[in-house]
C-alpha cells in the first residue's frame, strides 16, 4: 500500500519511527516532511498529505503533530481527504469501517510509539463496510449546503 506520512516539528521523531516500521512491513512510504526539528506550520503538512491522497500519490495517510488536532483540521480542508483523529486502535478501525477514512491523525505528545503502531495497524487492516454508511460518506465529500 502507498502511504503518505507528514508531521510538524513536534512529531518528526514519531514520523521517522512509523515510516521505518511501515517500510519494514513492505509498504511504499511517501514522507512529506519535515526533515528536522525546526519549527514549521502544521497546516502546510496537513495540506500536503491531503493533496497526496487527492491526486492518487497515496492510498492512505498518516498525519502527526503535537496533539493531532491541528494537522487533522488542515487535512480535512481538502474534500478528498477524510482524516480521523485517533488515539487507540478501536477508533482507528472504526474510522475505516464506518467513515471510509483515508487518513488518520495522532498526537505525538499524547501517544506512545507502540500505541501509534497499534492504531496504524488497525487503520490499515480495516475495510470500509459500505452499505448504510456510503450515503453518509458521500455527504462528507461535498460542500456544506448553504
Q: Is residue 119 annotated as part of the catalytic site, yes or no?
A: no
Share of the chain above pLDDT 70, in %: 99
User: What's the CA gap between 4 and 25, in Å, rounded?
Assistant: 15
Q: Average pLDDT, stretch 86-95?
A: 98
On whether the pTM is more than 0.85, the answer is yes
Render pLDDT for 13-53 as a digit per residue (tens, 0 to 9). 999 999 999 999 999 999 999 999 999 999 999 999 999 99
Query: Are 64 and 9 contacting, i.e. CB atoms less than 8 angstroms apart?
Result: no
Helix (H) or strand (E) holding 62: strand 60-65
Helix (H) or strand (E) holding 106: strand 103-107
CA atoms within a 13 Å half-sphere pointing along the CA-CB vector of 95? 28
Q: Is residue 65 annotated as part of the catalytic site, yes or no?
A: yes
Which residues is 104 bridged to in the sheet? 62, 84
Render pLDDT for 68-86 as a digit per residue (tens, 0 to 9). 999 999 999 999 999 999 9
Cell of 15: 514520523
pLDDT band at 135 (very low <50, low <70, confident <90, very high): confident
Q: Which of 9, 27, 65, 119 is catalytic?
A: 65
Please say if the pLDDT value at position 4 is more than 80: yes
Amino acid at each position: 500500500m502507498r502511504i503518505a506520512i507528514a508531521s510538524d516539528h513536534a512529531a518528526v521523531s514519531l514520523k521517522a519511527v512509523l515510516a521505518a516500521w511501515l517500510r519494514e512491513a513492505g509498504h511504499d512510504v511517501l514522507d512529506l516532511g519535515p526533515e528536522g526539528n525546526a519549527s514549521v506550520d502544521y497546516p502546510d503538512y496537513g495540506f500536503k498529505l491531503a493533496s497526496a491522497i487527492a491526486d492518487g500519490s497515496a492510498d492512505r495517510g498518516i498525519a502527526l503533530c503535537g496533539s493531532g488536532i491541528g494537522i487533522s483540521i488542515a487535512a480535512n480542508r481538502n474534500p478528498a481527504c477524510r482524516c480521523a483523529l485517533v488515539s487507540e486502535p478501536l477508533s482507528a478501525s472504526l474510522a475505516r469501517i464506518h467513515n471510509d477514512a483515508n487518513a488518520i491523525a495522532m498526537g505525538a505528545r499524547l501517544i506512545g510509539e507502540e500505541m501509534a503502531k497499534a492504531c496504524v495497524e488497525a487503520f490499515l487492516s480495516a475495510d470500509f463496510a459500505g452499505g448504510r454508511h456510503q450515503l453518509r460518506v458521500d455527504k462528507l465529500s461535498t460542500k456544506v449546503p448553504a
